[in-house]
Structure 1
């Protein structure tokens, strides 16, 4: 299938590692011009080097903190100055701070919302003037906990639920401009955090054995890979998904109890 991404310009936040980095790689393989965004220059430089070595294509990066409205505007300005347009915005920057409600301070709440909700808002507000010119796609990465929050997951599940609401309402507000807005809800996907858990819990096991442990209760029987998540994300921002907007797709091996 031709995803029709050749020549598209895409910004991916939180892309120095994990799903963000893998998504940048897949977009690049499909012909998009990708700009990586994260807070730390060293991580971005390594990510760009890795992707360029595997794809043979050139990428750019911008060091920025999406919790800053000024930084968000600077990212989009630099992209437009160099490429003259913006087609795709992928909001991946985030973290997972989960605790019992009584143990969460007001600063914890503010920090989480600043990153996972207002970080999206800053980037979307900065990108909208460009996206409205020719249409495009916005993709927000969140977690299945945003749909079905378990106990002891404040503030992360609350900010993720707010992000899902933002995604849905934006899809309606921006549809007249041919801007599609979707989300993906991530379940257990191999990441640095999951690998640390593996080493702490079962260092004697191989990754494949650990990933297939029945304790994870994943219907497909294993923890997912970052490439599997990146492939879905790439499809959703491509023209192959031109009639898909306002939805939140679970990437969780079937484990979420909600649609």
Structure 2
């Protein structure tokens, strides 16, 4: 397994789901962690779990705030550098989704999704570039199967993730001469809170379990994913074992990207 001792990893959207899984996995691999999300109580919970996975208290920095705020992004990076003196890995994971047909999508919903899923990560990455050049570090973007695969009733979400895929490859070209790698992981359906939080029907546990059962049949491997599946892929791409990999869009989706999307109607990052 890769070793991340002395490496500093900044993870956005670290308070639940995929972000939590990534944080716990990096904690078990010895990394120093800068964790951010909007929910301070959930971030504290994840920080405590990171200690159970091997991280020491002094190896963890927790900052709650809104990534769509330029002021908070600058504060996030400054406090990370002030504490750890470096940044080696940026994991752009924070994201959200509204389930709505194009005809029902409001301008506010459009702006919220594009700002949260794409814009804030563009500018956080931009501000992190000098630090990543100094460490010859790397960026891993958490995109989605919806980036290259159209799905009904989540058009803006698909657009935001398609933008992240293209940003990944463009930035990989820009930063390759400096020894900085940029890759993306594109999950299929993962057991997390995003669907339950944003889709009213899935807030009922029985209905959510029914949703997962339906999703199993859409993944050729016969199951939905877990946060640890994504975390392990992220750790690989961020490690020296992947030192010759950049600009990669890595599907971690049980083969779902191989299946036709013509009648797909539901998605979960």
- Output the TM-score relative to the length of structure 2: 0.87
Q: Distance in 1 between matches of 2:130 and 2:105?
A: 37
Q: What's 1:164 paired with? A: 165
2:44 maps to 1:38: no
Q: Distance in 1 between matches of 2:208 and 2:108?
A: 34
Q: What's 1:229 paired with? A: 230
Matches within 5 A, 1:93-172: 93-172=94-173
Kept in 2: contact 1:4–1:239 (CA 8 A)? no
Matches within 5 A, 1:214-225: 216-225=217-226
Q: Distance in 2 between matches of 1:132 and 1:47?
A: 29
Q: How far is the alpha carbon of 1:99 from its aligned partner?
A: 1.9
Q: What's 1:200 paired with? A: 206
2:176 maps to 1:182: no
Q: How far is the alpha carbon of 1:179 from its aligned partner?
A: 0.8
Q: Distance in 1 between matches of 2:246 and 2:204?
A: 36
SS of aligned partner of 1:139? strand
Q: Which has the higher mean CA deviation after the structures are superposed, 83-92 or 190-199?
A: 190-199
- CA offsets, 1:183-233, max 9 Å, x none? 111111111245746823376x8xxxx856676321111111111111111
Kept in 1: contact 2:12–2:92 (CA 8 A)? yes
Q: How far is the alpha carbon of 1:30 from its aligned partner?
A: 0.9
Unaligned ranges ≥5, structure 1: none
Q: Which has the higher mean CA deviation after the structures are superposed, 151-160 or 164-173?
A: 151-160
- CA offsets, 1:4-50, max 9 Å, x none? 42110010000011111111111111111011101121111111112
Q: Distance in 2 between matches of 1:182 and 1:198?
A: 35
SS of aligned partner of 1:182? strand
Q: How far is the alpha carbon of 1:154 from its aligned partner?
A: 1.9
In the superposition, relative to structure 1, how do residues 141 and 21 fare at CA in structure 2: closer, same or farther (>3 Å)? same
In the superposition, relative to structure 1, how do residues 83 and 161 fare at CA in structure 2: closer, same or farther (>3 Å)? same
2:12 maps to 1:13: yes
Unaligned ranges ≥5, structure 2: 197-201, 260-269
SS of aligned partner of 1:131? helix
Kept in 1: contact 2:30–2:55 (CA 8 A)? no
Q: Distance in 2 between matches of 1:56 and 1:8?
A: 12
Kept in 2: contact 1:68–1:122 (CA 8 A)? no
In the superposition, relative to structure 1, how do residues 228 and 26 fare at CA in structure 2: closer, same or farther (>3 Å)? same
Q: How far is the alpha carbon of 1:257 from its aligned partner?
A: 3.0
- CA offsets, 1:55-75, max 9 Å, x none? 253222111211111111111
Q: How far is the alpha carbon of 1:88 from its aligned partner?
A: 0.4
Q: What's 2:84 paired with? A: 83
2:48 maps to 1:29: no
Kept in 1: contact 2:61–2:80 (CA 8 A)? no
Aligned alpha-carbon RMSD (Å): 2.0
